[in-house]
Amino acid sequence: MSKQLNIALIGNPNTGKTSVFNALTGLNQKVGNYPGITVEKKEGICKLPRGVKAHVIDLPGTYSLNASSLDENVVIELLLNKNDKDFPDVALVVSDVENLKRNLLLFTQIKDLQIPTILVINMADRMKYKGISLDINYLEQTLQTKIAVISTRKKEGIDQLKQLITKYKDITVTPCLNASEIDQDYFNRLRKAFPNQLLYKLWLVITQDVNFGKTDRNEIEAIASFKTKSKSDLKRLQQKETIKRYQFINNTLKKGQTIDASQAKDLRTKFDRILTHKVWGYAIFFLILLTIFQAIYDWSTVPMDFIDGIFASLSDWVKTTLPSGAFTNLLAEGIISGLGGIVIFIPQIAFLFLFIAILEETGYMSRVVFLMDRIMRRFGLSGKSIVPLISGTACAIPAIMATRNIESWKERLITILVTPFTTCSARLPVYLIIIALVIPEGRFLGLSYQALTLMLLYLIGFGAAIISAYILNKVLKIKSKTFFVVEMPNYKLPLFKNVAITVLEKTKSFVFGAGKIILAISIILWFLASYGPGQQFNNAEDIIKTEYALQNLSEDDLSQKIASHKLEHSFIGIAGHAIEPAIRPLGYDWKIGIAIVSSFAAREVFVGTLATIYSVGNNDEDTIKNRMASEVNPILGGPLFNFASGISLLLFYAFAMQCMSTLAVVKRETNTWKWPILQLVIMTAIAYITALIAYQFLK
């Protein structure tokens, strides 16, 4: 094989497609977006027998080629465009052994496109448990394909699948059935009008509203214009097609599949009764969340202390080893301090992704979606809105992208607008450091006050999203109707490999994505904090020595006074003082003002900014927490970070839209700047007013 093999992984949601993708590619994978669209694109490299390398693309889950969402459109657009660089040489249709009948609908449609197709029957380890047996030879003959029966959990059948892929040219591209029998006259006319095109491709172009690329634009438009039937007639034909396919599938499975109900052992119903119960379901979900936040604190202490020590030592080593000067200061106080302020929070972020991945892998997240639909409906949202709201705890950007499976535009728009209230992992570093400063280390019923505070902040964010959704539902005059359908996958033990890859990929994406911004901002902040205009900055040493001449200050104290004076009269200090009148009523000083403004680039920059500001001109390598704890309120005296100012700052970040990337994605998803600008203005106003009330009340 001269060129690299293209493999497309296709299947219904919850068939274990991701597990098959991970089994084939391992860590040789990357995640991005399709060009011009925010649908996630997962691709990787698979090593096949005889040294063959294959490019594997994991397409979004779809139930059929009758598209009803952007995700499903992506699948159809690729399968109909042979000029696309990712067009598959072979398609792997992944099916679940327990839902073979439903999964085969998509399989028969793809066979009609005359692409070499292998049927991958996953979760084979459950066959005995469910009393299922298959006649593979009969199924292969009837479905005109090759079948790989695999278990990604037990790592069985993967080698056989790879062997079948290498022999893909031997697989017949003959369709399973003749779908054109639903209206022979119409399809004969279509065939005569476009003799060089696949009949089923023509049918999909006529019935689907999708983009097939510029290459065949004229031809596609000619085909699409062949709509000699009304929309309702085409819809009826689609329904006839679906019925015909299911008749074929039913007849095939009568002989090819045997299910012995007496052997089936099903605990799923019992679990569902408890986990989706109208009282116990919510109580269990609340306890799970509480456990997660407690673990984020307890489990991450050791690695955080280790990382903190490494960065402190590294900064100290740079200062003592390299010759003194601007470059050494930039490296030690700008870059290392800025990055250290973020890297220290990797353990908490990784644990958050770990728990979310486990909840998804076990099948519990679907129960949460079903459970929360009862609440969502009252606030003008769909049960599907809970997926973006929960996944928003990782990052608002993919969460907003995930709204595309909500059919109603009104429900989708409301979900997009309120999702940023959900506490994302970028807020986590801000929360953790402020909580550590102002919340005491006691315990209540075995749970630390700090973990309970973190839990409360997540609940406040979620509550704000729900209340905002209710208001928007009343205010927005958009007419739309939708129906809520959710699939309940079987419960299963999470696969370690899947969870590990998810945690690694998402944490890596978070760190490197944030890292670029933090590095750039750290360098800019270091420059702005290390230089300034006028005599107050340039003659800082002489001014301080003259001012404190009568006091016997130690060398360290004198250096600290000089550094503090320089910082106050630097470029960044001048900017901070300029906005200080606006933020003083919230309990913040000019340094916090700088951190808030810089964190509009990304919330997590807040901590890196403080790390940079507090380390300038200071040789003492304490942690940023200790630096902040030693700050004194210049007006009221006492610590600047007390309970009142700490709670004020926590509430400000709970409500503020502090992320330019999220605003950009909202613009992209709504196709206008109207909604992101409104989102920014309203959320900032809510954050300011809430923080103001909290500080004035608590001080």
pTM for the whole thing? Answer: 0.63
Q: Tell me which residue of 660, 513, 360 sits closest to 32, measured CA to CA.
A: 513
- Rounded-to-integer distance, Cα 652 and Cα 457, Å: 11
Identify the burial level of 524 via C-beta atoms within 10 angstroms of its C-beta, where 0-12 means exposed, 13-18 middle and 19 or more buried.
middle
pLDDT-derived band at 618 (thresholds 50, 70, 90) equals very low
37-66: average pLDDT:
82
CA distances in angstroms from 461 to 4, 406, 683, listed in the order given:
47, 22, 12
- Label residue 417 by pLDDT band (50, 70, 90): very high
In a domain, 426, yes or no: yes
Q: Are residues 117 and 216 in the same domain?
A: no
Who has greater pLDDT, 386 or 514?
A: 386
Query: 208 and 312 share a domain?
Result: no
Chain centre to alpha carbon of residue 595: 25
- Which pLDDT does position 216 carry in this prediction? 54
Shared domain check, 186 and 166 = no
Where is average pLDDT lowest: 141-145, 374-378, 441-445, 506-510?
Answer: 506-510
Burial class of residue 186 (count of CB atoms within 10 Å of its CB; 0-12, 13-18, 19+)? middle
More confident residue, 199 or 614: 199
| Tens digits of residue pLDDT in 262-303 | 555 566 778 888 888 888 888 898 888 778 767 776 787 788
Question: For residue 662, is pLDDT > 60?
Answer: yes
Question: Is residue 146 located within the same domain as residue 214?
Answer: no
Asked if the model's pLDDT at residue 162 lies above 90, the reply is: yes
User: Tokens 């309940």 identify what position?
Assistant: 488
Least confidently predicted of 209-218, 311-320, 336-345, 356-365: 209-218
pLDDT at 518: 61
Quick one: tokens of 350? 């990784």
Determine the angle formed by the axes of helices 336-343 and 280-321, rounding to 10 degrees. Answer: 160
Asked whether residue 83 is assigned to any structural domain, the reply reads: yes
Is residue 156 in a domain?
yes
User: Is pLDDT at 248 greater than 70 in this prediction?
Assistant: yes
Give the end of a domain, one of 244, 267, 296.
Answer: 244
Assess if residue 320 is contained within a domain: yes
Structural domain count, the chain: 4
Bigger pLDDT: 634 vs 56: 56
Is 176 within the bounds of a domain? no
In Å, what is the CA distance from 571 to each residue of 325, 537, 579?
Answer: 19, 9, 13
Please name the amino acid found at residue 321: T
Give the least confident one: 272-276, 382-386, 626-630.
626-630
Nearest to 4 by CA among 33, 58, 45, 41: 45
Distance CA 405, CA 407 (A): 6
Would you say residue 175 lies in a domain?
Answer: no
Q: Which of 140-154, 358-372, 590-604 has the lowest mean pLDDT?
A: 590-604
* Residue 145's pLDDT band (cuts 50, 70, 90): very high
62, 145, 59, 148: which is closest to 97 by C-alpha?
148
* Lowest pLDDT segment from 442-451, 553-562, 608-617: 608-617
The answer to whether residues 189 and 326 belong to one domain is no
Does one domain contain both 430 and 551? no
Torsion angle defined by CA atoms of residues 432, 437, 440 and 444, in that order, rounded to the nearest 10 degrees: -10
Q: Is residue 94 predicted with pLDDT exceeding 80?
A: yes
- pLDDT for 667 equals 82
Mean pLDDT estimate for the chain: 80
Cα distances (Å, whole numbers) of residue 187 to 177, 181, 223: 15, 8, 13
453 and 554 in a common domain: no
Q: Residue 507: what pLDDT?
A: 77
> Of the given ranges (30-44, 141-155, 374-388), which has the lowest mean pLDDT?
30-44
- pLDDT at res. 271: 82
Residue 679 in any domain: the answer is: yes
Min mean pLDDT across 176-180, 199-203, 366-370 is at: 366-370
pLDDT mean over 247-251:
93
Name the nearest CA neighbour of 588 among 682, 699, 464: 699
Q: How confident is the model at residue 212 (pLDDT cuts 50, 70, 90)?
A: low
Range of the domain at 575: 496-698
Q: What are phi and psi of 466, to 5 degrees?
A: -65, -45
What pLDDT digit, counting tens, does each position of 22-51 carry?
A: 889 887 666 554 444 445 678 889 988 888
Q: Name the band, by pLDDT with cuts 50, 70 and 90, for residue 651.
A: very high
CB atoms within 10 A of CB 536: 16
For residues 614, 616, 621 and 622, what is the CA-based torsion angle, rounded to 10 degrees? -10
In a domain, 249, yes or no: no
Tell whether 550 and 689 lie within a shared domain: yes
% residues pLDDT > 90 (the chain): 19
Mark whether 526 and 643 lie in a shared domain: yes
Do 191 and 237 lie in one domain? The reply is yes
Q: What pLDDT score was predicted for residue 335?
A: 79
pLDDT score of 577: 85
Q: Do 514 and 591 fall into the same domain?
A: yes
pLDDT, greater one: 552 or 117: 117
Tokens of 212: 């097939």
- Give the contacts of 514 (CB within 8 A, at least 6 positions apart): 342, 426, 602, 604, 605
In this predicted model, which residue has the larger pLDDT, 233 or 129?
233
Is residue 208 domain-shared with residue 352, that is, in the same domain? no
Look up residue 134 and give its amino acid. L
Q: Which uninterrupted H or E stretch holds 362? A: helix 346-362
Average pLDDT over residues 642-657: 89
Domain closes at, from 475, 505, 526: 475
Question: What pLDDT was estimated at residue 34?
Answer: 43
The pLDDT > 70 percentage for the chain reads 82
| The residue type at 259 | I
Q: How high is the pLDDT of residue 223?
A: 64
Q: Is the pLDDT of residue 420 over 80?
A: yes
Longest dimension (CA), the chain: 105
Mean pLDDT of 204-209: 78
Q: Which of 427, 443, 475 is the last residue of a domain?
A: 475
Residue 548 corresponds to which tokens in the numbers above? 């404190």
Residue 57's domain is classified under what CATH number? 3.40.50.300
CA separation for the pair 379, 595 (Å, rounded): 35
pLDDT at 687 over 90: yes
Q: H-type helices in 144-198, by residue range?
A: 158-166, 184-193
State yes or no: pLDDT of 617 exceeds 70.
Answer: no
The yes-or-no verdict on residue 621 having pLDDT over 60 is no
**Mean predicted confidence (pLDDT) in 559-577:** 79
DSSP string of 195-244, one letter each residue? TTS-HHHHHHHHH------STTHHHHHHHHT---S-HHHHHHHHHHHHHH
CA distances from 510 to 288, 293, 301, 361, 401 (A): 24, 19, 20, 21, 16
